[in-house]
Chain A
Amino acid sequence: MEKINLLPEDFRQKDTKDQQKIAKRPKIFEVQFSGPPASQRPDLTSDKPRQSWWQRVFGSGPAKPSKANQGSKQKPVSASLDIKTPRVEKINLKKSAKPAKAGQPKSFWANIFGRANLPTLAQEPKSLANHSPLPMAPKAEPSQAGRLIWKEDKLPVGPTVVPPPAEPMVKNSPPALGSIKPSAKVDKQATGRGYRSRPPRFSKPEQQKTKHRQAASSGKIGFDINLIPEELVSIKYYSIRWQVFIIFLAVTLPCLVIYGFYFIINGEQAKINNKINAYHQELTTMREDLSVYKEKQNQNIGLQRKLLALSWVLKEKIYWSNFFNLLEKHTLDGVYYRTLAADTSGDFVLPAVADSYQTMAEQIVALEQAPDFVKTVKVDGARLMSSAKAGVVGVMFDLKISLSDDILKKQQP
């Protein structure tokens, strides 16, 4: 009998581990077929090893007894059964074998989330070949489509008890193999143009996209089998073309959105730049006008400063003509000055010659009585001046004069 494992590779490994765990446990236990009523009957399934997620969903352990089985158990049968951890060892698939009817139809969500067991299809073991062959179930009786073989791995003998044919012990049994159509047709009919079902049943190996498909194809059987319920198969994925198209849209549309924003911002930036350029031109023109004005302003400022400097120079200007006018005014007849050495300090000595001492004295008094001209007058060293030809000419004296303030700065009108 050829061994067939329909589980994917991952789950197959997990299942193997589970089996190894189970193998470590006591392998013999008794099942009382006669005893307390069904309600009080111990549940054999409680001794089941811990099942994996996959097992819980699809079922890989021993199937629950069907209704027919339950019915048969109610008969008073007394027997002891030595059973290793039950499991499905081999499944012989034949096209003639019809799938067991899956009991009452479940809802969609119940099918998805409900507990699903792997359909267990079996043929009689060879050890039972000598026994009277069980009649093949007619097509109208799906409950006889397959039977569970309780086989011990290590015991040389076959199972001591072969349960009578029962209904498949799965809630969601897949359609009969004979009714499964090639995946290509299923995809086209069921999924439409833009979708492809996972996994594509009976598709070519290069079209297998899912792990389930991979597991199925990696099996050593020559044909492909998908035992995932139709409801789970109905999970749809986009085809490669649609995926590429969607990715293209997912890249293009955001890029277009970003470009749109960029375009808008860039437009605003261009407007602002144009405004800035216009402002720059306007500023250039205004600065040129201002430079003309400022040049004129600087000229005027320079002229103003020069005029101020000139006015200051004229204000500080020394007017000696005023001094000479006052000196002539306050000098008596008969008095003349031999030399003059005067500066802007206003204090100087006037060497003078008078006709007589009387004239000298009158001159001193005249100068002393001219406060608008001199502040102080002093005479130093009066003496007679004489010559050989003319005799006594006059009286020489030095006038030490201190001029009044601002005499040299007043302009003669």
Chain B
Amino acid sequence: MPKPKNKNLPFKNKLERIRKEIAAFINQFFAPIVFLLVVVILVGGYFFIIRVQYANLVKSRDVDLTGLEKEITKLNQELVLFSQYVKEDVGFTDKDRELLSRALPDKFDFPSIVVQFTALAQKYDVEVLSINIKENLKDEAYWPQNPALKKVNINVGVFVENYDKWRRFIKALESSVMVFDVQSISFSSASNYSLDVAAYYYQP
């Protein structure tokens, strides 16, 4: 029977035809399409998921883990060495440390210098007339091998009754705990002596 004509029929027919052609195409190539779909999913999954994840795994295993293992091995060796080093006691007691710090102070200590010098002079009946302390900033490289060693110049005027006291005072300066290095000696009268003394400190 002839069907009633419809104005939209050609368009609908065309759409229907396209749809049917697509359906026919799918029907005809269903197995290859399914195979292609599987291959695409597998390949895409490999390249976008598995490969990336595996690369991260390899990186973590080869770079991070191996690097950590090497570092741990190195630290273990250092620990063994340090433990042996610590076991060997250097025999330096706290009293020794205190004595060392008095001999070679860790910083420029003007009061300490004055106190030690005057105490020594008083011990040997030497009267300290004047003290001029000048930090030798220019002589920072006093000892080139160790720039931390600094030098201080002290000019002291003393009054000594006799030569014997003077000599004993000089000897006491040489044997004092704080290092006093007499650079020059001068006396013009019988009792007035002048000393240029160098003191040191260690400032790392």
Contact = CB atoms under 8 A, between A and B. Distances in A.
Contacts of B2: 220
Interface string A170-212: 0000000000000000000000000000100000000011110
Contact of B170 (A273, A321, A411): A321
Interface stretch (A109-117, A141-149, A278-286): A278-286
B76 interface: yes
A309 B184 CA distance: 22
A258 B24 contact: no
Given A265-B53, A269-B53, A279-B69, A247 B37 contact: yes
A290 B82 CA distance: 8
Interface string B49-87: 110011011001100110011011001101100110110
A129 interface: no
Nearest to A246: B34
A16 interface: no
Interface stretch (B117-125, B133-141, B174-182): B174-182
B67 to A, nearest CB: 9
A317 B49 CA distance: 77
Interface stretch (A89-97, A130-138, A295-303): A295-303
A313 B143 CA distance: 9
Given A198-B27, A247-B37, A313 B75 contact: no
A391 interface: no
Contacts of A198: 27
B37 A318 contact: no
Contact of B54 (A255, A265, A290): A265
Contact of B92 (A250, A294, A303): A303
A319 interface: yes
A290 B78 contact: yes
Contact of A344 (B34, B179, B184): B184
B132 to A, nearest CB: 17
Contact of A302 (B30, B83, B85, B204): B204
A211 B27 CA distance: 11
* Size bracket of the B interface: 35 or more
A345 B49 CA distance: 84
B179 A324 contact: no
Contacts of A320: 170, 174, 182, 185
Contacts, number: 178
Nearest to A253: B38
Interface stretch (A49-57, A59-67, A69-77, A335-343): A335-343
B160 to A, nearest CB: 12
Interface in A311-332: 312-314, 316-321, 324
Contacts of B69: 279
A245 to B, nearest CB: 11
Given A265-B53, A287-B75, A309-B149, A272 B186 contact: no
Contacts of B30: 237-238, 243, 246
B154 interface: no
Contacts of B82: 290, 293-294, 297
A257 interface: yes
A276 B65 contact: yes
A297 B202 CA distance: 19
Given A286-B76, A340-B187, A321 B60 contact: no
A198 B25 CA distance: 13
Interface in B20-62: 20-21, 23-24, 26-27, 30, 34, 37-38, 41-42, 45-46, 49-50, 53-54, 56-57, 60-61
B183 interface: yes
B171 A211 contact: no
B114 interface: no
A258 B186 contact: no
Contacts of B97: 303
Contacts of A302: 204
A314 B171 CA distance: 15
Nearest to A322: B174
A27 interface: no
A74 to B, nearest CB: 46
B42 A254 contact: yes
Contacts of A261: 50
B17 interface: yes
A18 interface: no
Contacts of B85: 293, 297
A270 B185 CA distance: 80
15 contacts: A198-B27, A209-B23, A254-B42, A257-B45, A258-B42, A258-B45, A276-B65, A296-B86, A309-B143, A310-B103, A313-B149, A321-B174, A324-B167, A340-B186, A343-B185
Given A276-B65, A305-B148, 6 more contacts: A210-B27, A246-B34, A254-B45, A289-B79, A317-B174, A342-B185
Interface of B: 1-2, 17, 20-21, 23-24, 26-27, 30, 34, 37-38, 41-42, 45-46, 49-50, 53-54, 56-57, 60-61, 64-65, 68-69, 71-72, 75-76, 78-79, 82-83, 85-86, 90, 92, 97, 100, 103-104, 143, 145-146, 148-149, 167, 170-171, 174, 179, 181-188, 196, 200, 202, 204
Q: Which 7 A-B pairs have the closest CB atoms?
A: A258-B45, A293-B82, A343-B184, A254-B41, A279-B68, A341-B186, A309-B149
